[in-house]
């Protein structure tokens, strides 16, 4: 069997240059591939560099994340671009902050090839469960506290919408809603009467009231950097039981209200009975962590109200009265399909 050639980013010369740019003065003489596996949007390869001489402070292993080779050059495939921008802009501006260390993030606009060289936490961290099993309440609390600390670090930061991300104006929101409406029509045609009338009506209300429900964007207040794809399996939890959670997979990041990340975590992947039991305690936990991290003027009720206008969690808004619970996840996923830059 012929071994698949490694990308240039995995060569000893390239790794040497990338590590030196990260202030790690070493020379890589060889590279061993420990493992490699594809995901829906990327390929993940664990590399073990072989160093010449003393390599104090050098990472024993590195994660290389690249685009899928079968998508290389596809003009309709945009995965990776946003994540590269995140590590070069957001993460570089405030290193640490519950993130993986990134040694290099690169995107080629001509070929659409991209890669990330990331800190490898395989030996010290783990993902709480295998999808779709939900984490324990304790693990969820650890995750939302970490998310609150990250949100707080960028809360109403002056660079938001200027050098970090962009504000969503009414024109952009209208374009997103139009795309949502077109995708919904395709979805409805495909599934016919398997999509109940009540759900169609619910989606229609979302489209008709979408601009009004997003008026909070106009004030540019109580905004932060959100992950977007913020489900519980995009978090590394520390094996020692501490609070060193790392958030990863940032290809859907944007400037938005923090509650969007909470809504996606709580509404997308849990059955209604579990969400009813855990939602309020987790919102309390999140809000307390926000305050502890220095956010001011954002009361507990604001967290709940912000969950409602996005249409993500049921039960808090008059426009969403009725049989909402079973379709909340569908609404979030359909809405997120039209976020610019999503791969």
Q: Name 186's Cβ contacts closer than 8 Å, sequence gap at least 6.
A: none
**What per-residue confidence (pLDDT) applies to 244?**
97
The reported pLDDT for the residue numbered 96 is 85
Alpha helices in 49-133 (DSSP H): 81-85, 92-93
pLDDT at 272: 85
DSSP for residue 9: G
3-state helix, strand, coil in the chain (%, to 5): 45, 15, 40
Confidence (pTM): 0.86
Residue 290: is its pLDDT beyond 70?
yes
pLDDT surpasses 90 at 326: no
Grade residue 3 by pLDDT with cuts at 50, 70 and 90: low
Q: What is the pLDDT of residue 128?
A: 96
How much is the pLDDT for 111?
Answer: 86
Residue 257, burial from CB neighbour count under 10 angstroms (0-12, 13-18, 19+): buried
pLDDT in tens, 50-97: 999 999 999 999 999 999 888 777 777 788 999 999 999 999 999 888
Give the residue among 253, 247, 280 at the shortest CA–CA distance from 266: 280
Predicted confidence at residue 219, as pLDDT, reads 87
Taking the CB of residue 229, how many other CB atoms lie within 10 A of it?
21
Q: Give the pLDDT score at 308.
A: 53
Mean pLDDT of 301-309: 63
- Residues 115, 118, 122: CA angle, nearest 5 degrees: 130
**For residue 337, pLDDT beyond 60:** no
More confident residue, 214 or 331: 214
Q: What is the pLDDT of residue 321?
A: 28
**Which has more confidence, 22 or 338?**
22
* Bridge-based pairing state of the strands 125-126 and 42-51: unpaired
Task: Name the nearest CA neighbour of 265 among 278, 284, 246, 256.
Answer: 278
Maximum C-alpha span of the chain: 69
Q: Which of 14-23, 136-145, 330-339 has the lowest mean pLDDT?
A: 330-339
Burial bucket for residue 106 (CB in 10 Å: 0-12, 13-18, 19+): middle
> Looking at residue 340, what is its pLDDT?
34
pLDDT tens digits, 239-271: 999 999 999 999 999 999 998 999 899 887 788
In DSSP notation, 205-252 reads HHHHHHHHHTTHHHHT-S-EEE-SS--GGGEEEETTSSS--EE---TT
What percent of the chain is predicted at pLDDT more than 70? Answer: 87
Rounded distance, CA 262 to CA 268, Å?
Answer: 10
328-336 and 259-267 are packed helices; what angle lies between their axes, rounded to 10 degrees? Answer: 130
At 107 the pLDDT is 94
Measured CA to CA, the distance from residue 246 to residue 162 in angstroms comes to: 26
> Who's near 113: CB < 8 A, 6+ residues apart?
7, 66, 67, 72, 107
Coil, helix or strand at residue 126: strand
| Alpha carbon separation from 27 to 14, 16, 49, 65 (Å, rounded) | 10, 5, 9, 21
Separation between Cα atoms, residue 264 and residue 288, nearest integer Å: 20
pLDDT digits (tens, 9 = 90+) for 111-166: 889 999 999 999 999 999 998 899 999 999 999 999 999 999 999 999 999 999 99
């Amino acid at each position: 069997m012929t071994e698949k050639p490694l990308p240039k980013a995995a060569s000893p010369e390239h790794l040497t240059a990338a590590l030196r740019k990260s202030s790690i003065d070493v020379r890589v003489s060889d590279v061993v591939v420990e493992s490699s596996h594809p995901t829906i949007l990327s390929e993940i390869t664990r590399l073990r560099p072989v160093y010449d001489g003393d390599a104090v402070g050098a990472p024993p292993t590195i994660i290389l994340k690249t685009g899928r080779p079968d998508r290389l050059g596809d003009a309709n495939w945009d995965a990776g671009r946003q994540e590269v921008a995140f590590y070069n802009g957001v993460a570089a501006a405030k290193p640490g902050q519950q993130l993986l260390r990134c040694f290099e993030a690169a995107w080629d606009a001509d070929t659409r090839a991209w890669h990330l060289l990331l800190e490898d936490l395989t030996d010290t961290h783990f993902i709480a469960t295998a999808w779709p099993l939900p984490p324990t309440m304790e693990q969820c609390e650890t995750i939302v506290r970490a998310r609150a600390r990250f949100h707080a670090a960028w809360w109403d930061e002056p660079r938001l919408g200027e050098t970090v991300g962009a504000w969503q104006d009414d024109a952009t929101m209208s374009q997103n809603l139009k795309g949502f409406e077109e995708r919904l029509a395709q979805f409805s045609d495909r599934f016919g009467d398997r999509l109940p009338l009540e759900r169609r009506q619910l989606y229609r209300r979302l489209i008709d009231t979408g601009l009004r429900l997003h008026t909070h964007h106009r004030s540019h207040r109580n905004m932060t950097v959100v992950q977007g794809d913020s489900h519980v399996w995009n978090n590394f939890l520390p094996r020692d039981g501490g609070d060193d959670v790392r958030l990863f997979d940032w290809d859907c990041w944007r400037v938005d209200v923090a509650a969007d990340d909470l809504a996606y975590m709580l509404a997308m992947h849990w059955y209604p009975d579990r969400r009813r039991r855990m939602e309020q305690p987790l919102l309390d936990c999140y809000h307390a962590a926000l305050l502890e991290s220095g956010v001011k003027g954002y009361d507990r009720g604001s967290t709940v109200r912000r969950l409602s206008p996005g249409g993500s969690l049921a039960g808090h808004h008059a426009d969403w009265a009725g049989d909402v619970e079973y379709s909340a996840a569908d609404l979030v996923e359909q809405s997120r399909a039209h976020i610019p830059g999503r791969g």
